[in-house]
Chains A and B, each alone.
Chain A
Amino acid sequence: AQKITQTQPGMFVQEKEAVTLDCTYDTSDQSYGLFWYKQPSSGEMIFLIYQGSYDEQNATEGRYSLNFQKARKSANLVISASQLGDSAMYFCAMREGTGSARQLTFGSGTQLTVLP
């Protein structure tokens, strides 16, 4: 089974509007971390936001917020007031807490295009 599922291969949003990128995850661990990264065409993975499984509040970082619904195992990224520079590939990733499996497991990504 996929550990991280991103069901939107591509998304379009008008500049200055908000957009939600979906992410669902699968784990039996109680302790885990969820991350979102942005990858522009240049290739570098840019860290955006982190949510811990025990965090009660949804994480926010500037225009980015994470809509964390633990019971549904979803961790959607919300980008407010989209900018042209937000056009990129976005990856959801999980890091489980047990044993040696502490690497990041990535979803397949969502290609976001911001339209002027």
Chain B
Amino acid sequence: KAGVTQTPRYLIKTRGQQVTLSCSPISGHRSVSWYQQTPGQGLQFLFEYFSETQRNKGNFPGRFSGRQFSNSRSEMNVSTLELGDSALYLCASSLRGARTDTQYFGPGTRLTVL
């Protein structure tokens, strides 16, 4: 079974631009979560989608948004990029997002904002 895939792997953008990151979960997984990883803040939860609905959202500004499609693929969008948005963005999928479900992560998208 193929793992979680994320595209693109690397992105360089300038302040004020917007960016869209894509995540394809493991086949059969319906829950997709996004995390931001930075050296200063560590790993922080962005949001979780299940069956095309945002089920949970972390403490991030409205510039960060996401969606999930009927095939469980998910995208996240960051508008009006700031320097502080430079980070590794990790997507994780699980079967149902239940407490006992293991989240499997993709390789991440490394975003650099100049």
Question: Does A pair with B?
Answer: yes
Name A's B-contacting residues (CB within 8 A): 31-33, 35, 37, 42-47, 50, 52, 91, 95-97, 100-109
Which residue of B55, B103, B110 is within 8 Å of A104 (Cβ)? B103
* Residue among A96, A106, A107, A109 with max Cβ neighbours from chain B (10 Å): A106
> A29: nearest residue on chain B (CB-CB)?
B99
Name B's A-contacting residues (CB within 8 A): 33, 35, 42-43, 45, 48, 55-56, 58, 88, 90, 92, 97-100, 102-108, 110
Alpha-carbon separation in the docked complex, A109 to B56 (Å): 24
Specify which chain A residues have a CB less than 8 angstroms from the CB of B107 in the assembled complex. Answer: 42-44
Specify which chain B residues have a CB less than 8 angstroms from the CB of A50 in the assembled complex. Answer: 100, 102
Which residue of B45, B99, B103 is within 8 Å of A31 (Cβ)? B99
Alpha-carbon separation in the docked complex, A37 to B37 (Å): 14
Cross-chain pair count, CB within 8 angstroms: 59
Instruction: Tell whether, in the assembled complex, residue B105 and residue A45 are in contact, meaning their CB atoms are under 8 Å apart.
Output: yes
The 3 A-B pairs with the shortest beta carbon distances in the complex, nearest first, are A45-B105, A106-B43, A103-B45
Main secondary structure of the interface of B (DSSP, over half): strand
Instruction: Tell whether, in the assembled complex, residue A106 and residue B48 are in contact, meaning their CB atoms are under 8 Å apart.
Output: no
Specify which chain A residues have a CB less than 8 angstroms from the CB of B35 in the assembled complex. Answer: 104
Specify which chain B residues have a CB less than 8 angstroms from the CB of A52 in the assembled complex. Answer: 99-100
Given known contacts A43-B110, A44-B105, A45-B105, A103 and B56 CB-to-CB distance under 8 angstroms: yes
Specify which chain B residues have a CB less than 8 angstroms from the CB of A91 in the assembled complex. Answer: 43
Instruction: Tell whether, in the assembled complex, residue B108 and residue A43 are in contact, meaning their CB atoms are under 8 Å apart.
Output: yes
Specify which chain B residues have a CB less than 8 angstroms from the CB of A103 in the assembled complex. Answer: 33, 45, 48, 56, 58
Specify which chain B residues have a CB less than 8 angstroms from the CB of A109 in the assembled complex. Answer: 42
Question: 6 A-B contacts, Cβ less than 8 Å apart?
Answer: A33-B100, A47-B103, A50-B102, A100-B55, A103-B48, A104-B35
Given known contacts A43-B107, A44-B105, A45-B92, A102 and B97 CB-to-CB distance under 8 angstroms: yes
